[in-house]
Structure 1
Amino acid sequence: MHDLIVFGEDFGGLPSSTQHLVSRLADSRKVVWVNSIGLRQPKLSFGDAKRAAYKLMGKSKAHYQPMAKANDNPNITIVNLKTIPAPASNFACSLAKKWMLSQLLPIIEQQQLQSPILWSSLPTAADLCGELNEAAVVYYCGDDFESLAGVDHHTVRSHEKKLVEKADLIFAASSNIKTKFPAQKTELLPHGVDVELFATPAPRAHDLPNGDRPIAGFYGSLSEWLDYDLVRELTAKMTDWDFVFIGPNEKNQLQLPKTDNLFYLGAKPHHLLPQYSQHWNVSLLPFKHNSQIEACSPLKLMEYLAANRPIVTTDFPALAPYKDHVQVANSAELMEQAIRQVQNDTPNTRPLVGQDSWDKRSEFVDRMLELL
């Protein structure tokens, strides 16, 4: 049984696919989870300065100590490294590598990891491959990083190339992403869903709008991939509906329209999301059409399907297996028509994702890891 050294996003908050998988793998192994070491260099803004300071001081938004245990699994040790975010020059890369190793190697020794596998979900961990006495290297690619807004694409491309060369096994979250990597060592690993969480009836959230008005809702990061113009048009057209948006705002300023029928409720713990998605009339995916969405496979799509509410969405490739079960609309006019058409529907979409649980995904990963 291999223990794991994981380079992922900051642990906690809205869990990523990496966190869903590793939390389950940790039931039978030790995990040292290294919080995000960055995908871009900071710019001249307060938010970036704050994030850069956190990385330089070894802090994260979720944990303010250098090392901690995950609340729900004592096998997971969370580490915040002091580092240089997304180093670009050879000198910066060398400095960042030495700095991180000086902090990480004593922790790995202290945790007494058994034949650990280095698992990276971030290309910027490439320079640490081969330096941690790991038995093998796994690259889990859940996003097309070259298409992500707000990252240093040149730096990430360079790091990803090195990581792919060093990886013994690559997991790709979508077919589009899989085509980027060597076929002989790449496995398709689509996103899963916590079927039990989203299928179990949940009480109605107290901060959902009250009254007789129907509700269309979205949860997820409020970032570059949302079509804010579409949302603005839609809320202006449908003044008899309420629109609820849930999730962390990743823009410098909130881009959602300030209207009486739109309610921004902020970020919510993942386990509370069914209290919202089970009780609104329609689930929304108002994405922009861009290269990032072309390659993505949104976790929330699977969760929406498990919640058994009608789904209205803009078009993107990952919808293909579910197109007969969602309403696709690429304009405000068509989206309004679709929302009104399905508002009283009671779909039975849960069986579509019944075999796609994170438990089954992690069992597959576990089998693959034991072959390394």
Structure 2
Amino acid sequence: MNLAEQPGQSPILNAQKLVELAPQTRPTLVCLSHLRWGFVFQRPQHVMSRLAQNYDVIFFEEPVVSAGESPWLETSTPAAGIQVAVPHVPEGLDHEAVVSAQRALLDQLLAGREQGDLLLWYFTPMSLAFTDHLDAQVTIYDCMDELSAFMGAPAQLIDMERLLMGRADVVFTGGVSLWEVKQRQHGNAYPVPSSVDIAHFAVAREDVSEPADQASIARPRLGFFGVIDERFDIDLIDQVAQQRADWQIVLVGPVVKIDPQTLPRRPNIHYLGAKQYAELPAYLSGWDVALMPFALNASTRFISPTKTPEYLAGGCPVVSTPIHDVISGYGESGAVFIADTAEAFIDAIERALPLKGTDEFVQRADAAIAGMSWDNTCRFMKEQIECLR
């Protein structure tokens, strides 16, 4: 008996049921990012990887200059539901021409695919220049940092952010201190500090094989992973290394926007370069204390470092300079030490060194990050988006 022959079935109800069972076209989420997907695995990758479970994500990066006479688009699929799009533009184009090229390439990409509702997710206001013509169901501004305070920020970034604030339906901020500023500029803003994949970093609490480039480094080891740029306090690291030559300082991460020649060079400072996200727990496992030696300047005024909960999930005591969101979020945890001078930093490290692996410290670290997860963070973000659709 086929469906039409079943007794007691209304043709109208049957049609409704077929519509309900038909696969629905997923919304397309265009993420406009100043950070490249393959650079450092951080907030954009964590968030977009999870949102890709419900949306088709196009991760549209900033353009690169390459050989050729015409703009073209390089695409790849690094993860399920994620399409990374990198615009390539010829050398010599002026600003307006680059903007026009990006607009045309994105329009072609969108025109060539079946899509449901269009969602626009901005990590950088500068992308508004080539997307302001798009009719989005929901516009999201994820304000990770105060980008206008970063080295090399475009002069027009502040004006572009003001325009984006006027168009955005919802604003997320990378930390509480940044939200305190942005919520005065937008009526639907939420503090959404970066979270942590606890299971990923908890591997560092186990007996992990030492990475080859760290295995020969003596103990005790003080470690840092992350981008080494204008936010990194070079002088502080130099003073600590000079005053405590018996301590080994391990720095894992790419050097960007600053001259590598300005970095301190001492026998007990070890630059291991950029590593993959999957490799970080193995390095963290071999440290006795984790460092957050951020300079206190305009670029760090509103940061909320992702590495704080990552270090704690890995079971490592943390010593940080007095970053506002670190103090407010972890200052009373007993697992994170705050120090504002080189002498205080050294004293804090001395107090932190005996703690790793002790029951008391493990309990403090776990309490500090209890309930945190990227899944929960992304679930909250998605709820805000769906309320607006």
Measured against the shorter chain, the TM-score band is: 0.7 to 0.9
Question: Does residue 58 of structure 2 align to residue 32 of structure 1?
Answer: yes
* Alpha-carbon shift at residue 58 of structure 1 (Å): 6.5
Identity among equivalent pairs (%): 25
Instruction: Name the amino acid aligned to 1:283.
Output: A
Q: Any conservation in 2 of the 1:119–1:137 contact (CA below 8 Å)?
A: yes
Match of 1:339 in 2: 349
Residues 180-204 of structure 1: per-residue CA shift (max 9 Å, x gap): 3434221221111111101123433
Any runs of at least 4 consecutive aligned residues in structure 1 with deviations exceeding 6 A, and if so which? 54-59
Residues 195 and 354 of structure 1 are in contact (CA less than 8 Å); yes or no, is this contact kept in structure 2?
Answer: no
1:220 equivalenced with 2:226 (yes/no): yes
Structure 2 residue 235 is the aligned partner of structure 1 residue 199: no
Larger CA Rg, structure 1 vs 2? 2
Please tell me whether residue 67 in structure 1 is matched to residue 75 in structure 2: yes
Please give the TM-score of this superposition, normalised by the length of structure 2: 0.83
Task: Give the equivalent residue in structure 1 for 2:48.
Answer: 22
Distance 1:55 1:173 in 2: 38
Q: What does residue range 49-68 of structure 1 map to in structure 2 within 5 Å?
A: 52-53=65-66, 66-68=74-76
Letter in 2 for 1:121: F
Task: Determine if the alignment matches structure 1 residue 296 to structure 2 residue 296.
Answer: no
1:126 shift after superposition: 1.4
TM-aligned CA deviation for residue 92 of structure 1:
3.5
Aligned to 2:29: 4
User: 1-side partners of 2:216 and 2:37: how far apart?
Assistant: 34
Conserved 8 A contact 2:67-2:90: no
The CA deviation at 1:107 is 1.2
SS of corresponding position for 1:295? coil
Conservation of the 8 A alpha-carbon contact between 1:307 and 1:350: no
**1:327 has 2:337 as partner:** yes
Matching of residues 41-190 of structure 1 within 5 Å: 52-53=65-66, 66-70=74-78, 72-73=79-80, 75-82=81-88, 92-93=95-96, 95-152=97-154, 154-178=155-179, 179-181=181-183, 182-190=185-193
The match for 2:319 is 312
Go from structure 1 to structure 2 and tell me whether the alpha carbon gap of 1:211 and 1:29 turns closer, same or farther (over 3 Å shift).
Answer: closer
Q: Take 1:111 and 1:174, find their aligned partners in 2: how far apart are those partners?
A: 35
Superposed CA RMSD = 2.4
Identify if the C-alpha distance between structure 1 residues 55 and 318 changes in structure 2 by more than 3 Å, giving closer, same or farther.
farther
Cα offset for 1:328? 1.4
Shift of 1:130: 4.2
Q: CA deviation at 1:16?
A: 2.8
Q: Which residue of 2 aligns with 1:364?
A: 380
Are the counterparts in 1 of residues 322 and 339 from structure 2 also a CA contact under 8 Å?
A: yes
**1:23 corresponds to which letter in structure 2?**
S
Structure 2 vs 1, CA of residues 53 and 229 (structure 1 numbering), >3 Å: closer, same or farther?
farther
Q: Which runs of 5+ in 1 are unaligned?
A: 38-50, 60-64
Say if 1:219 and 1:245, in contact at 8 Å, map to a contact too: yes
CA distance in 2, matches of 1:56, 1:141: 35
Structure 2 unaligned residues grouped into runs of 5+: 1-25
Contact in 1 for aligned 2:141/2:164 (Cα 8 Å): yes
Q: Secondary structure at the match of 1:265?
A: strand
For the pair 1:278 / 2:285, whether they are aligned, the reply is: yes
Residues 217 and 277 in structure 1, CA contact (< 8 A), matched pair in contact too: yes
Judged with a 3 Å threshold, the aligned counterparts in structure 2 of structure 1 residues 177 and 52 are, in CA distance, closer, same or farther, namely farther
Question: Is the 8 Å Cα contact of residues 218 and 248 (structure 2) preserved in structure 1?
Answer: no
In 2 relative to 1, CA 352–58 (structure 1 residues): closer, same or farther, beyond 3 Å?
Answer: farther
Relative contact order (C-alpha < 8 Å, sep 6+): which is higher?
1
Q: Which position in structure 2 is the counterpart of 1:237?
A: 243
Cα deviation per residue 1:49-108 (whole Å; 9 max; x = unaligned)? xx655999879xxxxx711111x32x11110113599x9xxx944x33332121111211
One-letter amino acid of the counterpart of residue 266, structure 2: T
CA distance in 2 between counterparts of 1:130 and 1:226 reads 35
Which residue identity does 1:223 align to in structure 2?
D
Give how far 1:317 is off.
0.3
